[in-house]
Amino acid sequence: MALLLTTKKQLKTTKKAAKHHEEAAKHHLEAAKHREAGNHEKANTSTLKAHGHHYIAASAQRANLKQQALNN
């Protein structure tokens, strides 16, 4: 039973990481478009949003690694 709960928790954090990686990519692409258009303020805002999503994704990945280490 504990293994099943762990697997569900890992699946949840894996999906969370993936979602935030996708959001980060979206914001990076927005930043690139804003830079090409010469709107550096909007580009900076999009870049900051991307980095926030990267941070959340990395946190979820670290949680997954810790859980895997406890199971082995």
CA angle 14, 19, 21 (to 5 degrees): 95
39 phi, psi to nearest 5 deg: -95, 85
Query: Looking at residue 12, what DSSP letter applies?
Result: H
Give residues with Cβ within 8 angstroms of 61, minimum separation 6: 13, 17
Q: What is the pLDDT of residues 1-43, one digit of tens each?
A: 555 657 888 899 999 999 999 999 999 999 999 999 999 999 9
Task: Determine the residue type at 42.
Answer: K
Contact between 20 and 53 under an 8 Å Cβ cutoff? The reply is yes
How confident is residue 49, by pLDDT bands cut at 50, 70 and 90?
very high
